[in-house]
Amino acid sequence: MEIIIVGCGKVGQALVEQLGEEDNNITVVDLLHSKVREITDRYDCMGVCGNGATHTTLLEAGIDSADLLIAVTGSDELNLLCCIIAKKAGNCQTIARVRSPQYSMEASYLKQELGLAMVINPEYAAAAEIARVLQFPSAMKIDTFAKGKVELLKFRLPENSPLVGCAVKEISTKLHCDVLICTIERDDDAYIANGDFTFMEKDVISMIASPNNAYAFFKKIKYRAVPVKDVMIVGGGDIAHYLCGLLQRSGTSVKIIEKDAARCEELSESLQGVSIIHGDAADKDVLMQENIETTGAFVALTNLDEENILLSLFAKSMTEGKLVTKVNRIDFDSVIRHLDLDSIIYPKNITSESIVRYVRAMRNTIGSNVETLYQVIKGKVEAAEFIIKDCNEIIGKPLSQLNFKDNVLIAAIMRGRKVIIPRGNDVIEKGDAVVIVSTHLGLNDITDILL
- Res 301: pLDDT: 97
Q: Are 158 and 138 in contact (CB under 8 A)?
A: no
- Res 38: pLDDT: 93
> Do residues 259 and 330 both lie within one domain?
yes
> Do residues 308 and 398 both lie within one domain?
no
- Res 282: pLDDT: 92
- Res 159: pLDDT: 77
> Do residues 323 and 274 both lie within one domain?
yes
- Res 6: pLDDT: 97
- 207 within some domain: no
Dist CA 30 CA 12 (whole Å): 10
Which residues have CB under 8 Å from 63's CB, separation 6+?
4, 69, 86, 89, 90, 92
- Res 393: pLDDT: 85
- 172 within some domain: no
- Res 356: pLDDT: 84
Dist CA 107 CA 242 (whole Å): 14
> Do residues 234 and 305 both lie within one domain?
yes
Judged on CB neighbours under 10 Å (0-12, 13-18, 19+), 362 is middle
- 205 within some domain: no
> Do residues 293 and 376 both lie within one domain?
no
**Helix, strand, or coil here: 310?**
helix
> Do residues 281 and 238 both lie within one domain?
yes
Of 99, 120, 141, which one is at a domain's C-terminal end?
120
Residue 385 structural domain: 362-449
- 158 within some domain: no
- 225 within some domain: no
Of 75, 91, 120, which one is at a domain's C-terminal end?
120
Dist CA 337 CA 379 (whole Å): 14
Q: Are 97 and 71 in contact (CB under 8 A)?
A: yes
Sign of CA dihedral 171, 177, 183, 185: negative
Number of domains present in the structure of the chain: 3
> Do residues 325 and 368 both lie within one domain?
no
- Res 138: pLDDT: 86
What interhelical angle do 347-362 and 10-20 show, nearest 10? 40
Burial 136-173 (b: 16+ CB within 10 A, else e): bbbbbbbbbbbeebbbbbbbbbeeebebeebebeebee
CATH number (domain holding residue 423):
3.30.70.1450
- Res 380: pLDDT: 86
**End-to-end Cα separation, the chain, in angstroms:** 25
- 24 within some domain: yes
- Res 218: pLDDT: 87
What interhelical angle do 261-270 and 238-249 show, nearest 10? 30
- Closest Cα to residue 116, out of 48, 182, 70? 70
- Res 364: pLDDT: 61
Q: What is the amino acid identity at position 297?
A: A
**Helix, strand, or coil here: 336?**
helix
Strands (E), 107-218: 118-120, 141-145, 150-156, 180-186, 189-192, 204-209
CATH number (domain holding residue 57):
3.40.50.720
Of 120, 143, 166, which one is at a domain's C-terminal end?
120
DSSP 352: H
Q: What is the pLDDT along the chain (451 residues), one digit of tens a residue?
A: 899 999 999 889 989 988 888 788 999 999 999 999 999 999 989 999 999 999 999 999 999 999 999 999 999 999 999 999 999 888 899 999 998 877 877 888 888 888 899 999 889 999 999 999 998 888 899 988 888 889 999 998 877 788 888 999 888 888 888 899 999 998 878 888 888 899 998 899 999 998 888 888 888 887 876 788 999 999 999 999 999 999 998 889 999 999 999 999 999 999 989 999 999 999 999 999 999 999 999 999 999 999 999 999 999 999 989 999 999 887 777 677 778 788 999 888 888 888 888 888 776 665 667 888 888 887 789 898 988 887 778 899 999 999 999 999 999 999 988 889 898 899 999 999 999 999 988 888 888 898 8
> Do residues 70 and 109 both lie within one domain?
yes
